[in-house]
Chain A
Amino acid sequence: DAGVIQSPRHEVTEMGQEVTLRCKPISGHDYLFWYRQTMMRGLELLIYFNNNVPIDDSGMPEDRFSAKMPNASFSTLKIQPSEPRDSAVYFCASSLWGAGGNTIYFGEGSWLTVV
């Protein structure tokens, strides 16, 4: 089965540029999460969606960050303008709420370096 698919896997960009990270959740899943991982702060939840609707964006660091989920099979995390402190690994994850619970499955991450 295809897992959570993220692109790009690696991105190097200059400060001030716009960055768009993409995610395809597991088919049929109704929850989608965006996490960020840095050495200093570990894994942090940025935002999550339920049925394409943003539910909690309290982890989004500032207005430069935005996330969308136009349909059940696609989500984006955009940073505009990017700054060096945004350098991190960004993980997308998805889950399905059902009788068996809602185990969350992660993608392989997008490694972002802002220079």
Chain B
Amino acid sequence: DAKTTQPPSMDCAEGRAANLPCNHSTISGNEYVYWYRQIHSQGPQYIIHGLKNNETNEMASLIITEDRKSSTLILPHATLRDTAVYYCIVRRQGGSEKLVFGKGTKLTVNP
């Protein structure tokens, strides 16, 4: 079972920041927060992950609360191509640790 809770859908205007929330209140100390997205008809795409510090890469920023019970994925300037289902997943770092996908958030970026 997925250990995260995400809103089923969100909308965002093109060019604006998209802030996608995720609750993971039962996260363990050695579990990371991973974000993937799936654009229609494509395979899941890795976005970013973090343990407790905020992270940023060329795609997005990840803000994790101090108690680590929730996080927010930020797409700073959303484009139409960012329309996708976004999955928040908690997972340990071991090689054998699986990715368990929940239902995710369907983000629609509107022109």
Q: Cα distance A55–B98 when bound, in Å? A: 11
CB of B44 closer than 8 Å to a CB of A: yes
Contact with A along B92-103 (1 / 0, CB 8 A): 011111111111
**CB-based contact B98/A48 at 8 Å:** yes
CB of B30 closer than 8 Å to a CB of A: no
**CB-based contact B43/A55 at 8 Å:** no
By the criterion of a CB under 8 Å from any partner CB, how many residues of chain B are at the interface? 19
Q: Cα distance A108–B43 when bound, in Å? A: 4
Interface of B is mostly: loop
Q: Within 8 Å CB of A48, what residues of B?
A: 96, 98
CB of A28 closer than 8 Å to a CB of B: no
CB of B106 closer than 8 Å to a CB of A: no
**CB-based contact B43/A91 at 8 Å:** yes
The minimal Cβ–Cβ distance linking B43 to chain A, given in whole angstroms, is 4
Q: Within 8 Å CB of A104, what residues of B?
A: 46, 99
Interface residues of chain B, those whose CB is within 8 Å of chain A, are 32, 34, 42-46, 49, 93-103
**CB<8 Å pairs between A and B, sample of 14:** A4-B43, A33-B99, A42-B103, A48-B98, A56-B98, A91-B43, A97-B95, A102-B95, A102-B97, A103-B34, A103-B46, A104-B46, A106-B45, A108-B42
